[in-house]
Structure 1
Amino acid sequence: MGMSNPYAEWFEQLRAEYGEQLRQMPLPEGLPEHLHALVLAQDEDAITLMLKLAWQFGAQAGFAAGQSQDRTPTPPRRSTVQA
């Protein structure tokens, strides 16, 4: 086994804790279909951009909050865009 991935571990922890609750949360109309089309088209660039936007708009804050509670490892800081 290789080195652990702190982001994958964090995601799995969030999925275990909040997955069922978040499955019930609706996304804006058209977004699920658009994401599905991007996956089918294997448009990794567009999906990565989507993830970067989500990270800037909230996930980064959530990760920092979890880190301050000693629940996750420290991720590398690479962000240059300020939310």
Structure 2
Amino acid sequence: MSNSNSAANPYAEWFEQLRAEYGDQLSQMPLPDGLPEHLHTLVLLRDEEAITLMLKLAWQFGAQAGFAAGQSQNEQPTPPRRSNVQA
């Protein structure tokens, strides 16, 4: 299923490319019990804030996993830089 916005939005285009490449494989991947139903409810309620939070968490967890995998491949991992920024 292609989205007409994909030509104007690089993320939509990238998503459609990933869906075409990995969609069949990922359709076999189970999600935790209750998650598909919860997401469906959020979509029906048009709870964009909750859906966006789920996407942000997934993006963050994926980035952390990718960083950890990259670090484990390095022979001498570079420690994280200290920041002087305070919250």
TM-score, normalised by the number of residues in structure 1: 0.65
**What is residue 24 of structure 2 aligned with on the other side?**
20
User: Is 1:35 matched up with 2:6?
Assistant: no
Query: Bigger relative contact order, structure 1 or 2, given CA contacts below 8 A and separation 6+?
Result: 1
Q: Report sequence identity in percent.
A: 84
Could you say what the CA RMSD is over the residues aligned between the two structures, in angstroms?
2.3
Q: What runs of 5+ residues in structure 2 fail to find an aligned partner?
A: 67-87
Report how many aligned residue pairs link the two structures.
Answer: 61
**What is residue 56 of structure 2 aligned with on the other side?**
52
- CA deviations 1:3-32 (Å, max 9, x no partner) are 731111110110000001101110001100
Distance 2:18 2:36 in 1: 20
User: Is 1:10 matched up with 2:10?
Assistant: no
Distance 1:46 1:32 in 2: 14
